A and B are shown apart, each in its own frame.
Chain A
C-alpha cells in the first residue's frame, strides 16, 4: 500500500468538564483514492471521529490523545490558520442536513463564491467555476440556482448544492456524514450515483459515515465498524459483510431482513443496548450482549488482531470454535 493520505492514530475524544471518553484509541488510515465507510449506531463515536479530522468537534468535547497526520502535519495539534487552509480546500465535508451547511439568507451563488475567495482570494473566473460546479452535480438550471436561496430547493437539490460546494476546490478527501439519510430512496440513489461518479473522475478519497449497511455495501472499499467508541472490526467491505468475525458485526448483519430469504424467517435480535463508552473500562464493550463472551471478555480489553478475513477486536472470533 502506498503511503496513506491521512493517518489517524489512537484518537481519543472526551468531554471537557467530566472527562468522559466518547471515542477511544481509534486508529485507521485512508489511502489516496480509497473510500472507507464507518458504520455504527448512535453513540458509537462515528460522527465525532469524522469531526476530529476537520477540527470541528462541538463545544465541550475535545480530542485528548492521539494524532491525525496529514501532509506532514498533525491536525490535532496545529494552529487554526493551518486548519482553515485545509478545511473546505483539501478536506471537505457534507452533512446529513444541508441546511446546517448552507446559509439560509444568502444566495447559493454567493455562498460558493465565498468558498473560492476565502481560499484563493479574488478570482476572475469564480462565477464560471460555480456555474460549472452546479451543472456537474446535475442541477438543471445553474444560472437560476446561482440566484436562488436554499429554501427554494428540494432536499435532494440542496444536497446537490452542498456536494457542489464541497467539490468546488477539488479536495483530496471528502467526508460524508449520512448525507442521504433524510432523502427518499430514489433520490438517495441519485445522490450516491453522483458521488460515485465524481469520486472516480477525481480519484478522490472518501470517508463515509452511516448507520445503513446497505448504503456502504456498494460505495466503499473498506469498512470500519464502531461500537461504544471503539473500532471493533475493519476490513474490505466484502469480507466484513460476507464473513464478519466480530460477534457484534455478525449480529448486526443477522438482524437485517434479507431479500433472498423467501421464508421470511424470524429476525435474529441482539438483546440489550450499547453501553456508554466511558462505562466499559478494560473489558469488551459488547460482552454484556454477546453469546460468546466469557470471563476474559469481561475483564480484559480485546485489541484488533488479524484473522483470515478481517481485523477484529475479539477473543472469540466467529471463525473460531467456541
Chain B
C-alpha cells in the first residue's frame, strides 16, 4: 500500500473578485505504508488543502491522489460504502470537531452505524474497545465533550478516526490546540498506535519540534510547493533550502537560553497565493536570491540520495 500524490494542483476561484488562488502548484509525494510523513509550512503553504485532498474532501484541479493505486476522490463520492473510511482525518481543535450535544459514546456509535462497521449488537463492545485503545476509561462514554479535558477530547477524536480501522490517518495540527503538558501524552499515544496498528500518518504542523519527533520523512512547503523533502534527519540536521534554514532558525527553542536568536529574521511576509510571485515563489524573501530566481521556476532535484530541494542557488 502506498500513498501516491502525483503533480497535484489546486486552484480556487474567489467569487467576488474572480481572482484565482493557487493553493497547490504541483505537489508530488510517494509515501509507503507504515511511514510517517511530516508536512511543515506557514499559512498559505497549502498543507491543509493537501490534507483535504488526501481524505477526499477536495478534488484536485489537476494531478492524481491514489491510495493503494485507487483514486481517492472517486471513493469519496461513495463515502457510505466505507472503503473510503480507510483514510481518516483528525482535526486541530477537538472542541469544534466533536458535536457538543452528543455524548462521546454516541459520537463513536454514529460512525460505526453509518459505515456499517459492526453488527448493531456489537456496537457497545466496540465503543469500549475504541476508548480503551486511546487510553480513556469506557465509563466516560456517557459524558459530553465539555465534561472532558482538552487532551481527552483529542483522544476521543482519534478513537472516532480509528473506528473504521483505517490504514492512513491525516493528522492536521493534532496537538497545537492542547496545553503544553498534555501534548506529550497525545504524541506518545500517536506513536503507540502507529506501532500497534501499523498505521501510516500524514502529520501536518507548523511546529518543527513535533514534526521532528514523529516523522520518518519530512516535506517543507512554501506557497503550494514542496521546497525540500527527505528523511527527517537529512532535512532537519542538514537543511539545504534557504527557506528550511530560515524556518529552523525561527523556531523558538527553550534549550537555547540567552542566545540572541532574534538577530537576523527572514524579511517580508508570505505573498498572497492569489498573486503568486514569478519564478521561485520564495525569491522575494530569500537571502541568497539572484535575479534569475525571479524567472526560473524551481523543480525538486536530488542533492543527495533521497534528499530533494527546489533551489538553483544551492550547489
Contacts and interface: CB of A to CB of B under 8 A. Distances in A.
* Chains A and B come from one and the same complex: yes
A280 interface: no
Nearest to B243: A186
Interface stretch (A2-10, A23-31, A99-107, A252-260): A252-260
Contacts of B213: 257, 264, 267
Contacts of B179: 41-42, 211, 273-274
Contact of A214 (B43, B191, B206, B251): B251
A267 B184 contact: yes
A110 interface: no
A185 B258 contact: no
A248 B236 CA distance: 30
Interface string B249-277: 11111111111111101110110000000
B180 A218 contact: no
Contacts of B212: 257, 259, 264
Given A189-B262, A214-B252, A273-B149, A242 B181 contact: no
B185 interface: yes
Interface string A34-57: 000000011000000000000000
Contact of A255 (B183, B208, B259): B183
A269 B206 CA distance: 21
Interface residues of B, number: 44
Given A184-B43, A264-B213, A218 B184 contact: no
Interface in A243-269: 251-253, 255-260, 262, 264, 266-269
A187 interface: yes
Measured as residues with beta carbon below 8 angstroms from the partner, the interface class of chain A is: 35 or more
A193 B180 contact: no
A65 interface: no
Interface in B106-151: 149, 151
Question: Most chain-A CB neighbours within 10 Å: which of B151, B210, B253, B259?
Answer: B253
Contacts of A219: 262
A156 B256 contact: no
B270 A184 contact: yes
B258 A238 contact: yes
B182 interface: yes
B159 to A, nearest CB: 18
30 contacts: A41-B180, A154-B269, A156-B269, A185-B42, A185-B206, A186-B247, A186-B250, A187-B42, A187-B269, A189-B265, A189-B266, A190-B265, A193-B263, A196-B260, A196-B262, A212-B180, A214-B253, A215-B252, A217-B252, A217-B255, A218-B252, A219-B262, A238-B258, A257-B213, A258-B209, A267-B213, A269-B182, A269-B188, A273-B149, A274-B181
Given A213-B254, A267-B188, 11 more contacts: A157-B269, A185-B206, A186-B265, A188-B252, A189-B262, A190-B267, A211-B180, A218-B256, A238-B257, A267-B187, A273-B151
Top 3 closest pairs, chain A to chain B, by CB:
A214-B252, A267-B184, A269-B185
